[in-house]
Structure 1
């Protein structure tokens, strides 16, 4: 028989192992509670979409579309399909397809994996996870400001510091066109120092030339015409309204005229939360307004604003706080020795779960000492211990794993006693 070669995970697509998953689950629950408190409901879209949704919505002359999408031809019908590289285009597609804005604006969110074919590095993977938040059908700066305030609250919930807010305005279409013409003229004067990406984007996406990470181009980019200087009265009023609301709330920010984001669909407000604690990948969250996207992908015109957070980067920052963010695996660990005790343990486990407790019943043979180690590893608050004596007397030995105190409790009273004890501990 041919020996089967061991298969490893694809580079940049990582397993989340049981010892780490508790932190993920707690973060996900905190995020759901946080979003619910602002009126956001979950919208789940497929991982796979038609490629044209992203080329149309994100923009053909972007890093994502040009270099990073996982695209293939469907062997059944020859259609070009793509693993989602971000959520917004799919969320907008679902909004249009199901007519979600028929009767009212919508606040929606999604959490899950997205896929980009790029070189894996810290905080940047081929399969990574995003929290995506969209407010659809809302015009004006109020919801822009509310989303930034939401994020400031999330950082407080997680105990995160050293995250800075940068904001900018991309204005309206005609303002960007006037700025584009001035920018192209400026870049043409510096064409001899542009790198390959800059020359390629000079006439197709010149704003992205300013977003260069090439140190040799920083001085040139700093002297380029600023889009802020091309804003008309309406766009300026929107940006000033955003700033006034942030000032009212005491949220510190820096205006970054070179902040453009990497996707074509943004207009007016754009923002990023950045940190120096993640190395080169310093953007924790980015977003802004995209009022033209619904019409661009086939819907009726409607305003919209949203943001996305990279979950791996957020978890990295959270772990740096030293917060013990791993949720307890269980309330009660049931240890047992002997066949009769093992059978009774299964029944007691079910009765405790009926009372609303999280219970792990030891699933193999082993000494009580080894089982107590497993109870500690599960971060249980109490251990329920069963042996031949306990089964005969229909009592359980209950051990408080925090202080080591033990008491014997009759089976019929066990659930009530543990529920009360856990409630008192909280």
Structure 2
């Protein structure tokens, strides 16, 4: 019986891996330009971390986590998102005491959620995210958004839009919460079981319901923007002002929410407008979470961040027909003619690699013609041939595969001569 790959996972094969590396390296370089530094956290954590950091009432915690007991009976969970582990590390390593503030971090790695697989959604998926901890300046909200937009821009995406909203401060949210309860309560029986539970626990999450999003009451629900106090309005206006200064267009959506109590002020999503992209248009989501560090046992520390899906980014690139500048590179393919030439060819191969060139040779005992075909298949720029005559003369015959020109180079000092030839692209 053949063992199949688990549902909701994927193999990323040669030819595709290069695209992933290019995207991740581009994002990392942008983060470094913004002075964000990489952090790596474990793939599994104690379950309690996500119950606190994601929220007991969320679908992620209630329905989607991969949770198991270890041999000591401790409950562990494969991480479903990246913010809670980063905040846990921030507290545990007392980064709030770092001399350089705010603490600006980025992460990249696999996350796990048990949900129905579909286009652009997997049970194991890769998130790239940033977190800025320690500043309540509206400018850093704009910085985080600009960083995310820069990633998509530098990768060539054009059909993207920024959607933004304010959740206000605690006072504003409390007033909005009461208005939501009054709005939905008379007809809550028309909503799904999850929404009925959310009415008292967390009514803001009703607005996020996928089952009842077409219910008429959703369209007439009280807008958080109508309940912002003066301080919250001023904060939101400053964020929008900074975005305007940077020339970043945005669309305000009062229905864009984050359900957990520690999310305040700015929340945003970046979406694809590309034709044929699919039903799931969100590429990236983020927001400000000023109460999360405190909720998890640390000192009161404001924070803001975002997470983007690499899989959805790749889908958006495909939808816009964007080809990334990646490919397999072979600088030189070494061809050995005859058994006695193999040691010299193998030595030359390793010398090329040690000098920083991408090089390969035949390991299947193929004839000379077949070896040249193999060099073509790997798109070798040059082929170095060592036959019996070349071996006796202490030389290798080097062919430029683009022009067909050929030149003999001495085996002694071959690398120096080959470097010069490769730099000039001649044979």
Q: TM-score range by the shorter chain?
A: over 0.9
1:138 aligns with 2:135: yes
For 2:171 and 2:108, the matched residues in 1 are separated by 35
1:289 aligns with 2:267: no
1:20 aligns with 2:19: no
Pick aligned residue for 1:58 from 54, 59, 82 = 54
3-state SS in 2 of match to 1:39: coil
What is the aligned partner in structure 2 of residue 331 from structure 1?
331
Pick aligned residue for 1:150 from 147, 150, 172 = 147
**Per-residue CA distance 1:20-77 (angstroms, 9 max, x = gap):** 22222222222222222221211110001000000011111111011100001122x2
User: 1:208 touches 1:262 (CA, 8 Å); kept in 2?
Assistant: yes
Structure 1 pair 109/418, CA: closer, same or farther in 2 (3 Å)? farther
1:33 aligns with 2:29: yes
For 1:373 and 1:255, the matched residues in 2 are separated by 58
Pick aligned residue for 1:165 from 162, 176, 185 = 162
Structure 1 pair 219/406, CA: closer, same or farther in 2 (3 Å)? farther
Structure 1 pair 189/31, CA: closer, same or farther in 2 (3 Å)? same
What is the aligned partner in structure 2 of residue 308 from structure 1?
307
**Per-residue CA distance 1:126-168 (angstroms, 9 max, x = gap):** 1011111111212211111112222222222211121111001
Structure 1 pair 14/180, CA: closer, same or farther in 2 (3 Å)? same
For 1:311 and 1:288, the matched residues in 2 are separated by 19
Structure 1 pair 149/56, CA: closer, same or farther in 2 (3 Å)? same
User: 1:194 touches 1:217 (CA, 8 Å); kept in 2?
Assistant: no
Pick aligned residue for 1:93 from 88, 93, 97 = 88
Q: Which runs of 5+ in 1 are unaligned?
A: none
Q: C-alpha root-mean-square deviation of aligned residues, in Å?
A: 2.1
CA positional deviation for 1:81? 0.6
Q: Which runs of 5+ in 2 are unaligned?
A: none
User: 2:129 touches 2:306 (CA, 8 Å); kept in 1?
Assistant: yes
User: 1:166 touches 1:254 (CA, 8 Å); kept in 2?
Assistant: yes
Structure 1 pair 298/255, CA: closer, same or farther in 2 (3 Å)? same
For 2:361 and 2:209, the matched residues in 1 are separated by 56
Residues paired across the two proteins, number: 420
Structure 1 pair 298/373, CA: closer, same or farther in 2 (3 Å)? farther
CA positional deviation for 1:251? 0.9
What is the aligned partner in structure 1 of residue 272 from structure 2?
275
For 1:378 and 1:319, the matched residues in 2 are separated by 25
For 2:112 and 2:44, the matched residues in 1 are separated by 10
What is the aligned partner in structure 2 of residue 391 from structure 1?
391
User: 1:70 touches 1:117 (CA, 8 Å); kept in 2?
Assistant: yes
User: 2:66 touches 2:113 (CA, 8 Å); kept in 1?
Assistant: yes
